[in-house]
Amino acid sequence: MRKSTREKVNYVFVELGLIIVSFFMFLPFILAISMSFMEPTEVFSYPPKFFPSSINFKNYITAIELVPMGRMLFNSLLVASFTTLGKLITGTFAAYAFSSFRFKGKNILFSTLFVTLFLPAETVMILPLFMLMSNLGWVNTYWALIIPFTASATNTFLFRQHFMTIPRSLEDAAKIDGASAMQYFFKVLIPLSGPIIAGAAIINFVYAWNMYLWPLIVTMQDNMRTVQVGVKMLISGETSNNWGVIMAGTLLVALPTLIIFFLLQDLFVKSLVNSGLKE
């Protein structure tokens, strides 16, 4: 009997705690959504309003017109898609090499790659990387936004970890049937890795979509900039006080990753944890 009242108290405590925490974590989004529908006069009214007096999409239209948001959305979509595709291809290839083959220099190559795990090149080596881009004539091009990010240690390890769980007997059977290495890769390994690849695709896409520092310095013309730089332009540009427009632009930029998260959150969370941890 005593235990059950205690359980009830715990239950109420947990429920309340969760309500408070989720309220604070989600509050900025609610305010942003609400603000994005407000007229400029409403935004600066005192006391501050929490809800708009009417729903209209004026701020969204202004945001798209003020900075070339449409073009930027296209740029980000292109950059995020191609870096993701690149990372999936190079990552699965490299992981296959490490998981199924024995070869000279394997350990050295493995460590060479592993050392870069926590080294975000686009920030640590940003200056020489930028100079390299300008020597290649890649500044202000999609190449600079895509090519340096088409391979990563993280993806290689994520895929390798998964490939190693696939029974060796499948490989032996494929060999006996006379399948080539690439046939085994495309017909056995890849089809068995659907969820892992999909999860990695989501994580990589979100990461690329959210990149900021590198696109900021490597693109100079508005038509080459990405959405995250667009947010900065809205804040520091002529709209700098028009918070309705800024919030509308911000939400537009956040929308794709939010949609991905709401639709695929279980897969997303599982892959995220898998990429960092191995039980």
Please report, as residue ranges, which positions from 202 to 221 form the binding site for other proteins (by CB under 8 A): 206, 209-213, 216-217
Q: Which of 260, 276, 259 is closest to 268 using CA atoms?
A: 260
Stretch that binds other proteins, among 59-67, 77-85, 188-196, 243-251 (CB under 8 A): 243-251
What are the angstrom distances between the C-alpha of 35 and each of 64, 205, 231? 16, 28, 16
Question: Contact between 11 and other proteins (CB under 8 A)?
Answer: yes
**Spatial separation of the C-alpha atoms in residues 258 and 262, rounded to whole Å:** 6
Stretch that binds other proteins, among 52-60, 61-69, 191-199, 267-275 (CB under 8 A): 267-275
What are the angstrom distances between the C-alpha of 135 and each of 24, 129, 131, 132, 266? 47, 10, 6, 5, 43
Measured from the CB atom, the residue of 42 and 192 that comes closer to other proteins is 42
**Spatial separation of the C-alpha atoms in residues 81 and 101, rounded to whole Å:** 30
Question: Contact between 46 and other proteins (CB under 8 A)?
Answer: yes
State the binding string over 165-194 for other proteins (x if CB under 8 A, else -): ----------x----xx-------------
* Residue whose structure tokens are 């930029």: 253
Task: Find the shortest distance in angstroms from Cβ 55 to other proteins.
Answer: 19
Question: Contact between 123 and other proteins (CB under 8 A)?
Answer: yes
Candidates 78, 85, 125, 267: give the one binding other proteins (CB under 8 A).
125
Task: Find the shortest distance in angstroms from Cβ 248 to other proteins.
Answer: 11
CA dihedral 23, 28, 34, 38 (to 10 degrees): 150
Task: Find the shortest distance in angstroms from Cβ 274 to other proteins.
Answer: 9
As a whole number of Å, the end-to-end CA separation of the chain is 39
- At 232, list the tokens: 């900065």
Task: Find the shortest distance in angstroms from Cβ 225 to other proteins.
Answer: 12
Candidates 8, 31, 57, 172: give the one binding other proteins (CB under 8 A).
31
